[in-house]
Structures are given as structure tokens and as C-alpha cells.
């Protein structure tokens, strides 16, 4: 394991975690050693807040579930 990011604001960390789950393909509900749930979904009531924090912190647009926010 290696540390990819540190000291991220909570909202930016949630989005970055989801991006890394997708990038490294660690979502696997059939294997308890892997991630069992997505870190973030489009149905999350705080998604717009997380996206704003992420955009402010990283200065880039966010894609969640293939949709640009």
C-alpha cells in the first residue's frame, strides 16, 4: 500500500475515494477483503456539497457514475 493523498477536506476525500475504487477496481461485493460498497453514489444527499469542495480543492471537474458534475 502507498499513501496517495493526505490532509484532504472530507468532501474531496469522499470523491477521491470513489475515483480510486473505480480506478483500481476494488469494488467486489463477493469478496469480504475488498470494498463492499461504493464510497459515493449519485443518490447521496450531500453529493453537491462534496463536489463543490472537491472542485475548490483540486480545481477540476468531477465525474461520478459517468456524469460530469
Taking residues 20-45, what's their average pLDDT?
A: 77
Question: For residue 17, is it within any domain?
Answer: yes
65: left (phi over 0), alpha (psi -120 to 50) or beta: left
Look up the domain containing 46 and give its range.
10-68
Number of folded domains that form the chain: 1
- Answer whether residue 34 shows pLDDT above 50: yes
pLDDT band with cut points at 50, 70 and 90 for residue 64: low
- Maximal CA-CA distance, the chain: 36
Question: For residue 4, is it within any domain?
Answer: no
- Burial of residue 19 (CB within 10 Å: 0-12, 13-18, 19+) is middle
- Answer whether residue 65 shows pLDDT above 70: no
Question: For residue 2, is it within any domain?
Answer: no
Question: For residue 3, is it within any domain?
Answer: no
Question: For residue 38, is it within any domain?
Answer: yes
What is the total residue count of the chain? Answer: 69
| CB neighbours of residue 62 within 10 Å | 20
Answer whether 0.85 is exceeded by the pTM: no
pLDDT band with cut points at 50, 70 and 90 for residue 19: confident
pLDDT band with cut points at 50, 70 and 90 for residue 18: confident
Q: Identify which of 51, 43, 46 has the alpha carbon closest to the alpha carbon of residue 19.
A: 51
Amino acid at each position: 500500500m502507498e499513501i496517495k493523498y493526505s490532509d484532504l477536506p472530507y468532501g474531496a476525500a469522499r470523491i477521491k475515494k470513489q475515483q480510486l475504487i473505480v480506478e483500481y477496481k476494488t469494488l467486489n461485493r463477493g469478496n469480504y477483503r475488498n470494498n463492499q460498497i461504493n464510497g459515493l453514489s449519485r443518490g447521496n444527499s450531500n453529493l453537491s456539497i462534496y463536489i463543490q469542495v472537491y472542485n475548490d480543492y483540486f480545481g477540476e471537474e468531477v465525474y461520478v457514475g459517468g456524469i460530469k458534475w
